[in-house]
Structure 1
Amino acid sequence: MKLVKYILGLAGAAVILSSCQKQLEDINKNPNESEQVQPDYLLTNGIKANVDTYWGTDAAMETSLLYVQYWAKIQYTDPDRYIPAGTSIQTVWNNFYAQGVADFTKLVELGDTLHNPNYKAVGIIMRSWIFQVLTDYYGDIPYSQAAQIDKYLTPKYDAQKDVYLGLLAELKTASGLITPSANTIAGDILYNGDMNKWKKFANSLRLRIALRISDKEFAAAKAVFDEIGADDNNLIVSNSDNAQLVYQASPNQNPVAKNRETRNDYRISKSIVDKLNQLNDPRLPIYGAVPRDTNKIVGVTNGLATDSAARLGFNKTSDVGAVFTATAAPAVLFNASELLFIKAEAAQIGLLSGNAATLYAQAVTTSLKQYGVSDLNVTTYLAQPAVLYDAANYRKSIGEQKWLALFGDGLEGFAEWRRLDYPKLPAAYTGALGGKIPTRMTYPSSEQALNGTNYKDAVGRQGADALTTRLWFDKE
């Protein structure tokens, strides 16, 4: 009898607790707050957070901008010597997956729920861009099982080849979903709801990825170029269509400007200053600033020891130009000159019909015009023997000029430098990799701890989890 009473007492207590919990939930529910995430807020925050990461300290200033020798460091030089901080490795991974892949996957789902294919398309495009950046940087990554925590708590790592091919298919789907004349979207701080421009971005990303895999999967790349390579109406071929986030005043300032509020340890690299000087390049005074104590732009050698770098002096070395460091400086994700360089190389190697030299000249011109260089100076620049297109060594011609055109975009510049093997850059002066330059970023330590089995599978397939391991797209 006592046992029966005890059981009944527990049951009654459970009912009371359940009732109390329900009342508390009702009390804590805000009647003025929507239970469904609003797609416009999700889109605005998703774009801002992920572009901030892309152009921010950990993905760019402390890593890729140094590796590809756009920038150098004059203080705290370990990152410039290829000793990245563990926080840089972890932050890039965490931000892109938690604030990028997860949020844009939710936007894709909302697009279906709201019967708005344009939201769905934009979600796919932005998520695909993030996955492309992640696989370019790390190699094999969680892709097909990512952002599905209800199904896959420890997602597998997909091979880089499969990630790229999957992204090509997803971006084709996104492009097909876009309906410019209907289904308006809000919260779009990249293109202000212009779906024609989103279509151009999607198709341009397809060509970027197709060219990136062309050394390994020529037939797959050719199929993409055959479909959309000549469709300039739906590609980013004008600077007015560039995919870029234009920043505003604090607290919505450019991440480089925000960084400059508390530190000033970055300088323009001597490597790019030397190349710009060699070519009499009119972009030199745009890319770099004249320091207070000299009358010319002075770059800093990458990878100096801390004491050697400090002796150079803040007022005798050149900061990066204001075009990139100003509060409202735009953060570019894809510009027209890159697309034209893609088409030039595609024409050269048989992916696309066209004149490679003409497309190359258009690409260089578009980069110069992006920064306001006059027509006369453009003509003079293009006429130089060192700038003229060399079909016999197209990788050098395109590699060097594309490197110059991508200045400031550390991650894309780093990817294309690895693929083309130009320009020929010296390793950091006191680098920690035995005279080598990084060719990838290592996985964050959290993956070894929390997703160990899949991490080990990826390393076993791809190669050592080291900065110098060459990725699938980059291997000879």
Structure 2
Amino acid sequence: MFKNIFTLFIIILAFSLTACKKNLAEINRNPNAVEDPQPDYLLTAAEKLGADAYWGADNNFNSTLLIIQHWAKIQYTEPDRYIFSNSSFTSLWNTAYAQVLTNLNTIIQFPDQKANANYKAVATILRSWTFQLLTDAYGAVPYKESGKIDQTLTPVYDAQKDIYFGLLDELKTAAASLNAAAGSIAGDPLYNGNLSNWKKFANALRLRIALRIADREPQKAQAVIAEVTADPSSLINSTTEAAQLKYDQSPLQNPVAAWFSTRDDYRVGKTIIDRLYALNDPRLPVYADKPTDPSVTKYVGVPSGLTNSDANNLGFAKTSKPGLTFFRSDANPAVIMSYAEVLFDRAEAVARGFINGDANSLYRQAITASFNQYQITDNTVINNYLGQSAVSYDPSNFKKSIGEQKWIALYGQGLEAFAEWRRLDYPQLTSGQAGVLDGKIPVRFIYPGTEQSLNGANYKAAVAAQGTDNLLTKLWFDVN
């Protein structure tokens, strides 16, 4: 599935070192760069880099998983208290723009004889997902002028509304252009060249983004959702069709597993463990391991936002690490979009009156799909869970029902869970105990400091339009 990994990283390095304008590129030509990059190698690199950024430390378990209280820190607790430096949020930005988008844009710009239409459509779908991550996190970001380094070194920041609208159009075009007759694609660890699954992923992304804008632009959201759900088979329809990158070949390794192989500073958050206990949720032993101290017989979560001394006093052996089988072992996949998420999205679309259907049935199917994702398939167990009053769907407050269950189902997917928590306003979380934001919780990433020096005028214009560049400025989609 994966080609020569060393060649892959040479390609990544070459593109990261490429100069920004044609004349500068000629002057600064890297003698070690690949002269003739191939679309399959570029696609492999983009998928792996994107998945690693989504699932790895900086954007996931050292920021968003802490903010939404899936995880907590047992030592070095500053991020759990919302003490972030300006460099804390550079990874998503730098990886996306300098590496992932560079590779994808290169594929899209290849002549047809070098990259067929399917390569370009898949690259466009991945590009749209990457921009969705960027705007979800930061708000306004360079979009329309991004990657046009032969025209400008200082791209304008586009408003979040315009980015979402643009992505909806790009995804529609890309999905429609996928055609087996145009040729096969290689270097695709995400879907192994399955064009049908790529089309389903594109439509599922359109559904996700349409709900992002639903509170601001309900008419646009409804039109898009009616289109992508007209034929439910055009969406992700099983756990086997989920978008996920499998770390199943050496030397590739799940970023969570790689971290825990040398460090031990994260634990499962008390907030989610308490909730799973309250619901008798069978995912508890999946999401967490029992403490290694044999005297502790229950799962023990760490409260969010403790000081270093308070966290350390809880004891490393007396608190629960994330579950080994599905999260801390080498071959576990980076889940980008699950079948459960798609079902929750369809349930919400019905609840909002955008499409016809049975919201309660879709909601129950979504929970079941989340269970099945972790190989929980016993119908008695599932039905007992769904039969609880605390789990039952509440049509008078669909945001609460869907928001709380989606928060549980998105465990481990920090960036997406962070976006959905802000959008749905559930579960209603309390700030970390020793948080430094006066009882508030961050609602965005701050821009990298380099933007102020390298793209200062456009950075200032974006901040003036969007609001102060701090952790508490709500983004356009975050209405309440």
Answer yes or no: same fold by TM over 0.5.
yes
Query: Is the 2:39–2:115 contact (alpha carbons within 8 Å) kept by the matching residues of 1?
Result: no
The answer as to 2:244 corresponding to 1:244 is yes
Q: Deviations over 1:331-376 (max 9, x none)?
A: 0000110000000000011111111111111111111111111121
CA distance in structure 2 between the aligned counterparts of 1:375 and 1:246, rounded to whole angstroms? 28
The answer as to 2:472 corresponding to 1:468 is yes
Structure 1 gap segments, 5+ residues each:
1-24
Structure 2 gap segments, 5+ residues each:
1-26
Of 352, 355, 358, the residue aligned with 1:352 is 355
Partner of 2:10: none
Query: Is the 1:154–1:454 contact (alpha carbons within 8 Å) kept by the matching residues of 2?
Result: yes
SS of the residue corresponding to residue 203 of structure 1 reads helix
Query: Structure 2: which amino acid aligns with 1:206?
Result: R
SS of the residue corresponding to residue 444 of structure 1 reads coil
The answer as to 2:461 corresponding to 1:451 is no
Q: Counterparts of 1:333-344 in structure 2 under 5 Å? A: 333-344=336-347
Q: 1:379 to 1:183 in 2, by over 3 A?
A: same
Partner of 2:328: 325
SS of the residue corresponding to residue 267 of structure 2 reads strand
Partner of 1:10: none
Query: Structure 2: which amino acid aligns with 1:328?
Result: A
SS of the residue corresponding to residue 185 of structure 1 reads coil
Q: Counterparts of 1:284-299 in structure 2 under 5 Å? A: 284-293=284-293, 294-299=296-301
Q: 1:250 to 1:29 in 2, by over 3 A?
A: closer
Of 296, 304, 315, the residue aligned with 1:313 is 315
Q: Counterparts of 1:252-271 in structure 2 under 5 Å? A: 252-271=252-271
CA distance in structure 2 between the aligned counterparts of 1:182 and 1:168, rounded to whole angstroms? 23
Partner of 2:24: none
Report the alpha carbon displacement of residue 295 of structure 1 after superposing the two structures with TM: 1.1
Partner of 1:421: 425
Query: Structure 1: which amino acid aligns with 2:337?
Result: F
Q: 1:386 to 1:29 in 2, by over 3 A?
A: closer
Partner of 1:79: 79
Query: Is the 2:117–2:182 contact (alpha carbons within 8 Å) kept by the matching residues of 1?
Result: no
Query: Is the 1:250–1:327 contact (alpha carbons within 8 Å) kept by the matching residues of 2?
Result: no
CA distance in structure 2 between the aligned counterparts of 1:411 and 1:111, rounded to whole angstroms? 34
Query: Is the 1:77–1:304 contact (alpha carbons within 8 Å) kept by the matching residues of 2?
Result: yes
Name which one, 1 or 2, has greater alpha-carbon Rg. 1
Query: Is the 2:146–2:155 contact (alpha carbons within 8 Å) kept by the matching residues of 1?
Result: yes
Report the alpha carbon displacement of residue 50 of structure 1 after superposing the two structures with TM: 1.3
SS of the residue corresponding to residue 473 of structure 1 reads coil
Partner of 1:145: 145
Report the alpha carbon displacement of residue 181 of structure 1 after superposing the two structures with TM: 4.5
Query: Is the 1:79–1:85 contact (alpha carbons within 8 Å) kept by the matching residues of 2?
Result: no
Of 296, 303, 307, the residue aligned with 2:305 is 303
CA distance in structure 1 between the aligned counterparts of 2:244 and 2:441, rounded to whole angstroms? 29
SS of the residue corresponding to residue 335 of structure 2 reads strand
Query: Structure 1: which amino acid aligns with 2:311?
Result: A
Query: Structure 2: which amino acid aligns with 1:316?
Result: K
CA distance in structure 2 between the aligned counterparts of 1:112 and 1:83, rounded to whole angstroms? 48
The answer as to 2:55 corresponding to 1:55 is yes
Report the alpha carbon displacement of residue 91 of structure 1 after superposing the two structures with TM: 1.9
CA distance in structure 2 between the aligned counterparts of 1:409 and 1:51, rounded to whole angstroms? 11
Report the alpha carbon displacement of residue 113 of structure 1 after superposing the two structures with TM: 4.8
Query: Is the 1:125–1:171 contact (alpha carbons within 8 Å) kept by the matching residues of 2?
Result: yes
Partner of 1:436: 440
Q: Counterparts of 1:16-55 in structure 2 under 5 Å? A: 35-55=35-55
Report the alpha carbon displacement of residue 305 of structure 1 after superposing the two structures with TM: 0.1
Query: Is the 1:244–1:331 contact (alpha carbons within 8 Å) kept by the matching residues of 2?
Result: yes
Partner of 1:123: 123
Query: Is the 2:215–2:479 contact (alpha carbons within 8 Å) kept by the matching residues of 1?
Result: no
Q: Counterparts of 1:139-288 in structure 2 under 5 Å? A: 139-248=139-248, 250-288=250-288
CA distance in structure 2 between the aligned counterparts of 1:304 and 1:250, rounded to whole angstroms? 37
CA distance in structure 2 between the aligned counterparts of 1:55 and 1:340, rounded to whole angstroms? 22
Report the alpha carbon displacement of residue 250 of structure 1 after superposing the two structures with TM: 4.8
Report the alpha carbon displacement of residue 90 of structure 1 after superposing the two structures with TM: 1.4
RMSD: 1.6
Query: Structure 2: which amino acid aligns with 1:305?
Result: T
Q: Deviations over 1:162-193 (max 9, x none)?
A: 00000000000100110135410110010000
CA distance in structure 1 between the aligned counterparts of 2:68 and 2:125, rounded to whole angstroms? 26
CA distance in structure 2 between the aligned counterparts of 1:87 and 1:231, rounded to whole angstroms? 44
Partner of 1:109: 109
Report the alpha carbon displacement of residue 262 of structure 1 after superposing the two structures with TM: 1.8
Report the alpha carbon displacement of residue 236 of structure 1 after superposing the two structures with TM: 0.8
- TM superposition score normalised by structure 1: 0.92
Query: Structure 1: which amino acid aligns with 2:387?
Result: A
Report the alpha carbon displacement of residue 289 of structure 1 after superposing the two structures with TM: 0.3
CA distance in structure 2 between the aligned counterparts of 1:29 and 1:299, rounded to whole angstroms? 52
CA distance in structure 1 between the aligned counterparts of 2:76 and 2:389, rounded to whole angstroms? 40
Partner of 2:6: none
Query: Is the 2:142–2:157 contact (alpha carbons within 8 Å) kept by the matching residues of 1?
Result: yes
CA distance in structure 1 between the aligned counterparts of 2:311 and 2:415, rounded to whole angstroms? 24
Report the alpha carbon displacement of residue 111 of structure 1 after superposing the two structures with TM: 6.2
SS of the residue corresponding to residue 467 of structure 1 reads coil
SS of the residue corresponding to residue 474 of structure 1 reads coil
Of 354, 359, 367, the residue aligned with 1:364 is 367
Identical counterparts, % of pairs: 53
SS of the residue corresponding to residue 414 of structure 1 reads helix
CA distance in structure 2 between the aligned counterparts of 1:135 and 1:226, rounded to whole angstroms? 24
Query: Structure 2: which amino acid aligns with 1:353?
Result: N
CA distance in structure 2 between the aligned counterparts of 1:53 and 1:110, rounded to whole angstroms? 25
- TM superposition score normalised by structure 2: 0.91
Query: Is the 2:134–2:141 contact (alpha carbons within 8 Å) kept by the matching residues of 1?
Result: yes
Q: 1:393 to 1:29 in 2, by over 3 A?
A: closer
Query: Structure 1: which amino acid aligns with 2:471?
Result: L
Report the alpha carbon displacement of residue 103 of structure 1 after superposing the two structures with TM: 1.2
CA distance in structure 1 between the aligned counterparts of 2:143 and 2:75, rounded to whole angstroms? 37
CA distance in structure 1 between the aligned counterparts of 2:207 and 2:171, rounded to whole angstroms? 10
Partner of 1:396: 400
Report the alpha carbon displacement of residue 227 of structure 1 after superposing the two structures with TM: 1.2
Q: Deviations over 1:248-303 (max 9, x none)?
A: 35531001111112211000000000110111000000000001121111000010
